[in-house]
Chains A and B, each alone.
Chain A
Amino acid sequence: MQLSEKHRQYWIKNMRLTGLLLLVWFVATFVVSWYARELQAITVLGFPFPFYMAAQGALLIYLLLVGIYAKSMDKLDREYTEQEKE
C-alpha cells in the first residue's frame, strides 16, 4: 500500500486529536486525584470538588471525549474518502 500525502495528513490529524483528548483524560483523572487533598476546599453542587470529579465529573468528561472522537473522526473519514474518490 503506497502511502500518499493525504494518508500522512489524515494520520497526523488523527494523532493530534487523540493526543489532545488523552491529555484531557489524564488531567481529569490523575492530576485531579493527585491533588485531591489540596482541592478539597472547593465546593461544586454541594460536593467537595475532588469527590464530585471522581464520582461524576470525570465520567461526564470521558463520555464527552469519546463522543467528540467519534464525531470528529467520522467527519475526517468522510473528508478524506471523498477526496480519494475524485
Chain B
Amino acid sequence: MGGSNQGGFSAQLKRYYALYAGGFIGFVVMLAILEQMGVPNKVLGYLLLGATVLLYAAIGILCRTSDVVEYYVAGRRVPAFFNGMATAADWMSAASFIGLAGTLYLSGYDGLAFVLGWTGGFCLVALLLAPYLRKFGQFTIPDFIGARYGGNLPRAIAVFAAILCSFTYVIAQIYGMGLIISRFTGLDFGVGVFVGLGSVLVCSFLGGMRAVTWTQVAQYVILIVAYIIPVIWLSVKHTGNPVPQLTYGYVLSQVTAREQVLNDPQTPEGAREAEVRSIFKLRQEEAESKLKALEKGGEVYLAEEKARRVDFVAGLSAQHKADPQSLVASKRELSEFPENVASARSQWRMEADMDKLKAGPIAAHAEPFASADETTRDKKRKNFMALVLCLMVGTASLPHILMRFYTTSSVQETRVSVFWTLFFISLIYITAPALAVLAKYDVYTLLVGSSFSELPGWVSAWASVDKSLMSVTDINHDGIVQLGEITIGGDLIMLATPEIANLPYVVTALVAAGGLAAALSTADGLMLTIANALSHDVYFKMIDPLAPTSRRMIISKALLLVVAVLAAYITSLKPGDILLLVGAAFSLAASAFFPALALGIFWKRANKYGAIIGMLGGLITCMFYIYLTYPFFGVNAPLWWDINPISAGIFGIPAGFVGVIIGSLLTAPPDKNIQELVDMVRYPGFKNQT
C-alpha cells in the first residue's frame, strides 16, 4: 500500500466523519427545537436512541464483507488517528462512561485509582506489546501465543482465557445497555438487552472488524460530545470558564473549605450535621443490637420481631386517625422484613454499615487514603496501589484492545495509534474528576442548606425515578437539607449533570445515547474477539486447517449468534455488581496473558512449557481468589493481606511470571524457528524474513 494512497484514504475519512459529526449535532439541535415546541421527553428519548442505533446498523450494512483480511483485521489499513478513536470507543465501557464520575464523587482521591489504571495501562501497551504484535501481524492474540510457544496447548489455554475474560466483560456491557435502554425509553430490561444486542450483531455479523471499526469511530464521536457538553455547561455556571479541566482546582479548594465547615460542630451548619450524624449513630447501634439478638435468638427472635411488626401495623390500621404516612412506612417495613436468619443477617449488617458511614465525619475529597487510624490508611494505600497495577496490566492484556493494533498499516502507524488512543481516552478521563468536583460543589453549596419545601427540580425528579440514585429525607425534622440527609448513587452524577446545569432534556437523552454508544462499542469488540477465538483459533487452526474461507466465515458468524444469545441469557439473570464484573475481567486478563505475552517478546528463553505453566498458574490463582472473595460465590473467605476482591490479579500476575520463568528454565530452550520468530518481531525496520 503506497503512502499517498493511504494519505488519500485518511483525508477522505476525515471528510466523511466531519460531515457525520456536523449532521449529528444538527440532529440534536433539531430535537432541541422539537422539545421547545412541546414534544414529550419520552418521544425525544426514543428518537435520539433509535436514530443512533439505526445509524450504527447502517454503517454495519455498508461495511459488510466476506474477505478474510477485511473481516478479521479491517484490511490492515486503518489510519492511526482513526484506529485511536475506534480503540478509545472499544475501550470506554458503559461502566466508565456512566459510573466513573460517580465513583470519583463518592470516593474522592481514592477513586482516582481507576483514572490512573485505565490510562497508564496504555504506556505498557505502547512500550511492551502493540508494536511487536503488529510486526507479528496475524489475526488474534491466541495466534501470537500459539506461534510463539508452538503446539496447540498454549493456544488452547489462550483461547479459553480470551473467552473467559471477554465474556465476563461483555455481560457487564449488555447489563449497562439494558439499564440505559429501559430507563430512557420505558422498554422492559429484557427487551432493552435484545434491542441492544440486535444492533451489535448487525454490525459484527455482516462486516466483522471492518464494520466494527467504522462503527466505533462513529460511536466515539457521539460519546465524546455527550460527555463534554454538559460538563462545559456546568463549569460555565460555576466558574464562568468553559474549560473546567484547567481551573477546577479552585473549585476543589472551595469544596475542601465547605467540608471543614460542615465537619465543625461549632458552626451553625456543622452543628446541624452533627445532629444528623448522632441520629445515624443511634440507628447503627440499634441495628447492631438487633444483629446481636439475632445471633443469640435465631429463628425464634426473628419470628417475634416479625409478629411485633404485624401487630403494630394492625393496631395502626385499626386506629381511626392514624397518620397515613407512618402507616405506609410501617407497612413497607413489614413487607421488606427478612424471611430467614441468613437474609436478616445480611440485611441488618448492610443497614448497620450504611448508618455507620453516615455517622462518621464527611470524608475530605482531596485527601488520599482518608481515615482516622494509621492501619486503615495503610490498608487503603496498599489497595490503591494494587488496583492501579491490576487495571494497568489488565488494560495491556485485554484481547479485544490488543487485537485492534493488528489493524493499522505498519508498526510505525501502530505506535502512533496508541498515542491517539490514549489521547482520546484521556479527554474523558481528565474530564471525569472535574465533573465530580463540580457536582460536589453544587451539592455542598446549593443543595445543602436549602429548604425541603423548595428542593431543586432535578433532586425531586431523580428521587421519583429511583430511590437508590437519589434520596433526601429530613432526618432531624428541621426542614433544611443537611449533607448527611442526602444519599446519592454513583450513576446519578453523570445522568443528572445536564439537569443540574439547567440544560434541556435533549442533553439528558444525549448522555443516554453516549452511554449506549460506550456499551455497544465495547460489546462489539468483545463479541468479535470471542467469535474469532472460536472460529479462527479453534476451528481453523486446531480442527480443520484446510477449511475454505467461506466455511470459516459461516462458522464465525454462526458462533457470534450463539455467543450473543448465551450472553443475553446470562445477563437476564442479573449476576451482580457491574464494577466487580469489570474488575474480574481485568484481573483475569492480566493474570493469564501479560506474563506470557511480555516474556514471549523480551525473553527468548521462554518456551512452551513455561507458557503453559505460567498461563494456567496465573489464571487459576486469580480465579481461586475471585471464587474465595466475590460475594456472588457465597464463600466470603478472609482476604489475603487485606487485598480487596477487585484486585484479584495482584496474585495472578506474579504467579504467571514465576510460572513462565520456572517452567522455561526447567525445560529445554525453544528451537531455532521460534527464536527467529522473536527476532522477526523485534526488528520492524529490517527486512522481513517470512
Contact = CB atoms under 8 A, between A and B. Distances in A.
A11 B415 contact: no
Interface string B381-398: 100110011001000000
B418 A70 contact: yes
Interface string B235-249: 000000000011101
Contact of B685 (A18, A33, A63, A80): A80
Contacts of A11: 682-683
A33 B116 contact: yes
Given A30-B388, A47-B252, A56 B685 contact: no
A62 B120 contact: yes
Given A62-B422, A73-B131, A81-B685, A37 B368 contact: yes
Interface in A31-85: 33-34, 36-37, 40, 44-48, 50-52, 54-56, 58-60, 62-63, 65-67, 69-70, 73-74, 76-78, 80-81, 84
Interface string B668-690: 00000000100110111111010
Contact of A29 (B120, B418, B434): B120
Contacts of B250: 46
Contacts of A18: 127-128
Given A47-B249, A47-B252, A55 B115 contact: yes
A25 B680 CA distance: 27
Nearest to A29: B120
Contact of A37 (B126, B369, B389): B369
A77 B246 CA distance: 37
Nearest to A7: B683
Interface string B247-260: 10110110000000
A47 B366 contact: yes
A55 to B, nearest CB: 4
B415 A50 contact: no
Given A46-B252, A62-B119, A81-B685, A51 B127 contact: no
A80 B686 contact: yes
Contacts of B416: 70, 74
B115 A78 contact: no
B680 A1 contact: yes
Interface residues of A, number: 46
Contacts of B245: 56
A45 B253 CA distance: 10
B95 to A, nearest CB: 19
Contacts of A52: 249
A51 B115 CA distance: 11
Contacts of A63: 419, 422-423, 426
Contact of B120 (A10, A25, A36): A25
A80 B687 CA distance: 11
A21 B385 CA distance: 20
B249 A21 contact: no
B565 interface: no
A59 B119 CA distance: 7
B67 interface: no
A77 B120 contact: no
B115 A59 contact: yes
Contacts of B450: none
A25 B123 contact: yes
Contacts of A65: 123, 126-127
Contact of B377 (A10, A30, A37, A78): A37
A40 B536 CA distance: 52
A66 B679 contact: no
Interface in B126-149: 126-128, 131
A75 B687 CA distance: 17
Contact of A36 (B109, B119, B123): B109
A51 to B, nearest CB: 5
Among B112, B123, B250, B388, residue most surrounded by chain A Cβ atoms (within 10 Å): B123
Given A51-B366, A84-B687, A1 B116 contact: no
B494 to A, nearest CB: 17
Contact of B430 (A3, A45, A56, A73): A56
Contacts of B388: 29-30, 33
Given A46-B247, A59-B426, 4 more contacts: A22-B127, A55-B112, A74-B416, A78-B685
Interface of A: 1, 3, 7, 10-11, 14, 18, 21-22, 25, 29-30, 33-34, 36-37, 40, 44-48, 50-52, 54-56, 58-60, 62-63, 65-67, 69-70, 73-74, 76-78, 80-81, 84
Q: Which 10 pairs of residues, A with B, have the shortest CB-CB distance?
A: A46-B249, A36-B368, A77-B685, A54-B112, A81-B685, A70-B415, A55-B433, A47-B249, A46-B250, A66-B126
9 contacts: A11-B682, A47-B249, A51-B112, A52-B249, A58-B116, A62-B426, A66-B419, A74-B416, A80-B685
